[in-house]
Chains A and B, each alone.
Chain A
């Protein structure tokens, strides 16, 4: 590592820290893009088997090169801008969708030392950045000058604002018990407690004491990423493809990338916040980044499972779930956690 640092210093001189940061960004974004590509493959395979089909199986062995072929196809296609669309915003919208999905990864820790920017307020940063993801969808709907797209954008805006509140409340519970906004500390704090001392650290992770919040966060995460059964913004059977109905080629692909990058982000955050991140579930196995990836894959599988098995929520049911079910649960559990922490039974000392 030191040799690499010295080599870089020699070549780039004073600009080396900036170049090194860029290298680290590429090292995070490039594998994630590959992850997105294979998540689409995985999705098609998983849903295929759940529906007693085979899924993609023609391009390469077991269809493994299918996502690359799809990507190439989208790259070759023409981007059609509708005649009366607001061209500038039409082009910016996909960028606004993918930028927050990528920027949030700046503070996501992979192990206690492997993190691009270990800042104090990383949880706040994540909440701020992910709350901007909705602009890409709203603006694409508005700029397309199409009724389907506009309906999709309206639905999406209402849905994202509603579910962000319960998502925020569940994160407030997490930061209360960990007494920190730093994601690395939030993970480390989950390694303490009676169960962790017995070598059963998976029972001392946040999911058990904050179980309702874990469920609320997971379900709100599905809603925030506009995935089935909360995909009213796309709603193929009602509004064709919702906000991205007018997009083609790479512009459409960027929306697609943003959705899947957000899925991976939400699964990483759920793993870090509630499932102990890179911590090993039992005492006799070492901690490591592989545990984080395993937990993320399990949650991503849940996303695909939901999509294959649940019918889409009707719009009013979706609003009711967000405002009349999740919000009261969050408010009550917030008080419960507060009282619990002040009582002698406090387990987070």
Chain B
């Protein structure tokens, strides 16, 4: 077993452990932390596959931004484990069906070699930055799917704002523009008065 294989098994073991803890941990913050660990390890495995752009992107986007907000929300929630457990048997058939579907899809993708579908060999010649390659491909061959994806994200963003917007704000707030233009003589009045003597 060479060094690279050893690193792969080490990272995979951590990844599997972390993913299991995401669904078994009773404390939601612990579960979120294990999800972060899972993303990070996933980045490590991708770096091992020489996909350094994807590896860094998953850490930058998921670990650095998405999970921060996720953790932020999870910390604020008052989650009652027992109440969530109540519906377990009702949801089990649907959940099991979805799980089975996902396993089948993954099997189809990973087993493509077995089903005689020629898989693209992902070997990159040395000296080619795959950041540059992905960028070039994204804005030439895949420009429409890429723009479509960004449009969907924009729709999601607007939808989130529409769902949470509750009409114009009624609370009192300060107007920074007015604050900036305040002069000392608007607020303070200097009075001339004769000196008082006792």
Query: In the complex the two chains form, what is the Cα distance from A316 to B56 in whole Å?
Result: 32
Known: A135-B36, A157-B72. A125 touches B56 (CB 8 A): yes
- Tell me the A119-161 residues at the B interface (CB within 8 Å): 119-121, 124-125, 127-129, 131-132, 134-135, 138-139, 142, 150, 153-154, 157-158, 160-161
Measured between beta carbons, the chain B residues less than 8 angstroms from A160 are 68
A115 to B174, CA, bound (A): 49
In Å, the complex CA distance between A238 and B36 comes to 31
Distance, CA A139 to CA B27, complexed state (A): 14
The smallest beta-carbon distance between B38 and chain A, in angstroms, is 14
Q: Shortest beta-carbon distance, B62 to chain A, in Å?
A: 10
Q: Does A268 contact B (CB under 8 A)?
A: no
> Which of B29, B72, B131, B174 sits near A121, CB closer than 8 Å?
B131
CB contact list, A95-115 vs B, under 8 A: none
B107 on interface, CB distance cutoff 8 Å: no
Q: Are the CB atoms of A89 and B72 closer together than 8 Å? A: no
Q: Given the complex, which residues of A lie within 8 Å of B64, measured CB to CB?
A: 127-128, 131-132, 164
Q: Are A89 and B176 in contact (CB under 8 A)?
A: no
Number of A-B contacts defined by CB within 8 Å:
67
Closest chain B residue, CB of each to CB of A314: B174
A343 interfacial contact with B, CB 8 Å: no
Among B59, B131, B176, the residue within 8 A (CB) of A128 is B59
Q: How far is the CB of B126 from chain A (nearest CB, A)?
A: 11
A317 at the interface (CB under 8 A from B): yes
Residues of B within 8 A of A132 (CB): 59, 63-64
Given contacts A124-B56, A128-B59, A135-B36, whether A154 and B72 have CB atoms under 8 Å apart is yes
Q: Which of B68, B129, B173 contacts A120 (CB 8 A)?
A: B129
Q: How far is the CA of A157 from the CA of B129 in the complex (A)?
A: 33
Question: Please, which residues of chain B bring their CB within 8 A of the CB of A121?
Answer: 52-53, 56, 129, 131
Which residues from chain A contact B174 at a C-beta distance below 8 Å?
A: 316
Is B48 located at the chain interface by the 8 A CB criterion? Answer: no
Would you call the interface of chain B mostly helix, strand, loop, or mixed? helix
Report yes or no: B60 in contact with A124, Cβ–Cβ below 8 A. Answer: yes
Report whether B75 and A181 are in contact in the complex, using a CB–CB cutoff of 8 Å: no
Q: B131–A181 contact, CB under 8 A?
A: yes
In the bound complex, residues from chain B placing their C-beta under 8 Å from that of A53 are none
Task: Name the residue in B36, B59, B174 with the highest tally of chain A Cβ atoms < 10 Å from its Cβ.
Answer: B59
A77 within 8 A of B: no
- Asked, given contacts A121-B53, A124-B53, whether A89 binds B59 with beta carbons under 8 Å apart, the answer is no
Within 8 A of A (CB), among B113-154: 129, 131
Closest residue of chain A to B75, judged by CB?
Answer: A142
A180 → chain B, closest Cβ, in Å? 9
Expressed in whole angstroms, the Cα–Cα distance for A164 and B72 within the complex equals: 16
A134 contacts which chain B residues (CB < 8 A)?
68
Q: Residues of B contacting A150 with CB < 8 Å?
A: 75
Which B residues, 56 to 92, have Cβ-Cβ distances below 8 Å to chain A? 56-57, 59-60, 63-65, 68-69, 71-72, 75
A138-B68 contact given A120-B131, A128-B59, CB 8 Å threshold: yes
Cβ–Cβ < 8 Å partners of A135 in chain B: 36, 68, 71
Chain A residues, CB < 8 A from B129: 120-121, 181
| Any A CB within 8 A of the CB of B33 | yes
Residue of B nearest to A138 (CB): B71
A86 to chain B, nearest CB (A): 8
Chain A residues contacting B56 (CB-CB under 8 Å) are 121, 124-125, 127-128
Q: Does A194 contact B (CB under 8 A)?
A: no
* Chain B residues in 8 Å Cβ range of A317: 176
Q: How many Å from the CB of B99 to the closest CB on chain A? A: 30
Contact B29 A157 (CB under 8 A): no
The answer to the question of A320 belonging to the interface, with a C-beta cut-off of 8 Å to chain B, is: yes
A224 to B84, CA, bound (A): 37
23 A-B residue pairings within 8 Å (CB atoms)? A89-B33, A120-B52, A121-B56, A127-B56, A128-B59, A128-B60, A128-B63, A128-B64, A131-B65, A132-B59, A132-B63, A134-B68, A135-B71, A138-B68, A138-B72, A138-B75, A154-B72, A157-B68, A157-B71, A157-B72, A164-B64, A181-B129, A320-B176
**B residues neighboring A (CB under 8 Å):** 29, 33, 36, 52-53, 56-57, 59-60, 63-65, 68-69, 71-72, 75, 129, 131, 173-174, 176
Ranked 8 nearest A-B pairs via Cβ: A131-B64, A128-B60, A128-B59, A124-B56, A120-B129, A128-B56, A157-B72, A142-B75
Excluding A131-B63, A135-B71, 6 further A-B contacts by CB distance (< 8 Å) are A89-B33, A121-B52, A121-B53, A128-B56, A128-B59, A131-B59
